[in-house]
A and B are shown apart, each in its own frame.
Chain A
């Protein structure tokens, strides 16, 4: 730009401009609390800032996912524990029915109680947390079973086939499984669809039928089958124990990542208030000094001393 200012004035204004830029940049950083407000403030740090923000977003989402899943796993684990207790109660009822003192009406009454327990086991298999059926495997939106006294196992499958392939991803990218289906736990079948010895529903149904028939031998046999099924369900608690541990460890790690990312991000983009305060003071002082010095610059020339005639 061409102006009528003298070169010394131009130089003064150029220097003044540098001071004012420094001051306004420090002011902007102080008011925003950030040391990087535009890409030109620290071009070499942009890659790190964006990457850490992205990692922080992932860690936050992973934490949120794991928190939800932790609730589901804990509920499922409780459900399995309840199922074990429930099967234990059924064994007790069967033992009572197998007693030589038990009359047929008593046995039939016990059969009704076992049937109620079977209903409760179906309810456990349909446990829902926040809209997710925890024993429905991949079909998280649907219940797994309903009671059907006419069925050989006393229940009907609502989802066929049942499979649990859903994976949970931890913050380090490692995936693991956290769910089993109700079929795997309570309705195990062989390759052609017949109940196996570990099938809790079939064992309960067998006990109901044995109690209703009043046959001591049948009842004893049904108790044995129920005991086998209960032992099997009991053995599956280790899966949920491991799942709970995995989720808990992953959650801890995700939270550590979050903290670490926030710290790193703060280090990269947060303004250093103390340093900035010093910078603002220095720049203001320099600006005042420059203005004052310029104001004291002599503006007279020899013309001012010529006598006016």
Chain B
């Protein structure tokens, strides 16, 4: 009799275990497409047989196994981090192609071409007021093209810096969310698959913003390190980072835009630790690429070098030339002006002298021998002279090299972003194979559990019937 009750008890426990397993399966099916969710596998463990009481014999217990795999998750995070960087570079660099346009209407090359053609035309009739006016007009167009490019690059720089600030804010928000999940996990006695999914989802989001290293702690809590060195989240503590203007970086070049640095919660510079993720892409554009074009603390910038070289070269020829055909020779006036006190702002301040008139343009080379259009001819050939006036290159050639460097950067970002999308998908596919939910497997498991549940119910029914029969045998 006692053993019959033990069997009834075991069957009841088994039914309870099957119900829990069905709940786990149902949860898997519901969250099959939830970002960050890892399959929970119900494992049914046989209970030990108690030879004295007979209790629990034949019963089962449900233990849920989490299929989350740290290696697969890390692989996804690393690929997402690289993807975040290349996609950010792609987005940020594309507007530069508008400034460094390659069409035949591209402002700076067109203006330079027009300027040198106007010098050439002027050389055929130096005293022509219309040709002199054409030279001044072409010079104004050139200065205006440089100013416009400088303004556009400045706007891009501002936009990138704003993006850095908002990315840092996002990183801190994600860190705060991770901290809250850590707190919740520390308060849970049992593993929580939903919380774990939210945590993984946030970690993946954070990976796309910066390179992180995740260390697993007790009870599912994690420590997140930025660049593998700086604690961003440590258990239940968040160490927020901040983006700062590195004013000291402009010491070498007054007036230049400062570089942007990232500091940890103690004010230490951790910029060099950010090597991948969207933030790394933004920092690379803001601190390296844009300064190489428009200038920064440690460099004048290609566009400013070009503007200064153009102005200096043209002015030198005009100032050494003569406006008169006979002695005493009268030196010509400078055509271009710029603010030399801010080397990183020369392109933006390049202008045509407000006092220049056509008659002040010196077409003649006083020689000896005197050549009435010698200076004008020198100016006309300045762009193709050898060696070129800008670091050994002609003005157009130098601008082409700047454009080419922008093109290479965009092209590289496009190629890498495309390749990285595939790599992310591959890493996610691996993660899915290891810890993803297969609806087919869940369906099979559900059928198995249903059958087991029915079998356990049948045992209960049989034991109940047997007990009823035994009780009926007792004489009243």
Q: Does B369 belong to the interface (CB within 8 Å)? A: yes
Contact in complex: B425, A43 (CB < 8 Å): no
CA distance A65 to B121 in the complex (A): 6
CB distance from B435 to the nearest CB of A (A): 12
B contact residues around A39 at 8 Å (CB): 97, 100-102, 403-404, 406-407, 410
CA distance A167 to B325 in the complex (A): 14
Q: Does B57 belong to the interface (CB within 8 Å)? A: no
CA distance A104 to B380 in the complex (A): 61
Contact in complex: A47, B397 (CB < 8 Å): yes
Contact of B384 (CB < 8 Å), options: A54, A65, A303: A54
Q: Does B399 belong to the interface (CB within 8 Å)? A: yes
Chain A interface size, under 10 / 10 to 19 / 20 to 34 / 35 or more? 35 or more
CA distance A62 to B116 in the complex (A): 11
Whose C-beta in chain A lies nearest to the C-beta of B420?
A14
Contact in complex: A169, B397 (CB < 8 Å): no
Whose C-beta in chain B lies nearest to the C-beta of A8?
B429
The stretch that binds A, out of B61-69, B438-446, B457-465, is: B438-446
Q: Which of A271-309 contact B (CB under 8 A)?
A: 301-303, 305-306
Instruction: Give the secondary structure class of B's interface.
Output: helix
Contact of A14 (CB < 8 Å), options: B121, B399, B405, B422: B422
B contact residues around A10 at 8 Å (CB): 424-425, 428
- The number of inter-chain residue pairs (CB within 8 angstroms) is 188
Q: Does A223 belong to the interface (CB within 8 Å)? A: no
CB distance from A57 to the nearest CB of B (A): 4
Most buried by B among A34, A47, A166: A166
Q: Does A113 belong to the interface (CB within 8 Å)? A: no
Contact in complex: A165, B369 (CB < 8 Å): yes
Q: Does A3 belong to the interface (CB within 8 Å)? A: yes
CB distance from A246 to the nearest CB of B (A): 15
A contact residues around B428 at 8 Å (CB): 7, 10
The stretch that binds B, out of A75-83, A137-145, A202-210, is: A137-145
Q: Which of A156-187 contact B (CB under 8 A)?
A: 161, 163, 165-169, 173, 175
CB distance from A176 to the nearest CB of B (A): 12
Contact in complex: A61, B121 (CB < 8 Å): yes
Q: Does B176 belong to the interface (CB within 8 Å)? A: no
Q: Does A17 belong to the interface (CB within 8 Å)? A: yes
Contact of B370 (CB < 8 Å), options: A51, A61, A165, A306: A165
Q: Does B414 belong to the interface (CB within 8 Å)? A: yes
A contact residues around B384 at 8 Å (CB): 54-55, 58, 173
Contact with B along A127-157 (1 / 0, CB 8 A): 0000110000011110000000000000000
Q: Does A11 belong to the interface (CB within 8 Å)? A: yes
Most buried by A among B400, B431, B447: B400
The stretch that binds A, out of B39-47, B165-173, B201-209, B289-297, is: B201-209
Q: Which of A1-59 contact B (CB under 8 A)?
A: 1-8, 10-11, 14-15, 17-18, 21, 34, 36-44, 46-47, 49-51, 53-55, 57-58
CA distance A141 to B384 in the complex (A): 30
Whose C-beta in chain B lies nearest to the C-beta of A3?
B35
A contact residues around B397 at 8 Å (CB): 47, 50-51
A contact residues around B369 at 8 Å (CB): 165
Which chain B residues have a beta carbon within 8 Å of chain A's beta carbons? 29, 33-36, 97, 100-104, 109, 112-114, 116-117, 120-121, 123-128, 201, 204-205, 208, 325-326, 369-374, 377, 380-381, 383-384, 394, 396-397, 399-401, 403-408, 410-411, 414, 418, 421-422, 424-426, 428-429, 431-432, 436, 439-440, 442-444, 446-447
8 A–B contacts from the bound complex (CB under 8 Å): A2-B204, A8-B429, A17-B421, A46-B407, A49-B400, A54-B113, A55-B384, A65-B121
7 smallest beta-carbon distances between A and B, as pairs: A39-B407, A43-B407, A302-B443, A11-B425, A40-B410, A50-B400, A7-B428
- Please give 5 more A-B residue pairs, beta carbons under 8 A apart, in addition to A4-B34, A39-B407, A54-B384: A11-B426, A37-B102, A55-B384, A132-B125, A166-B372
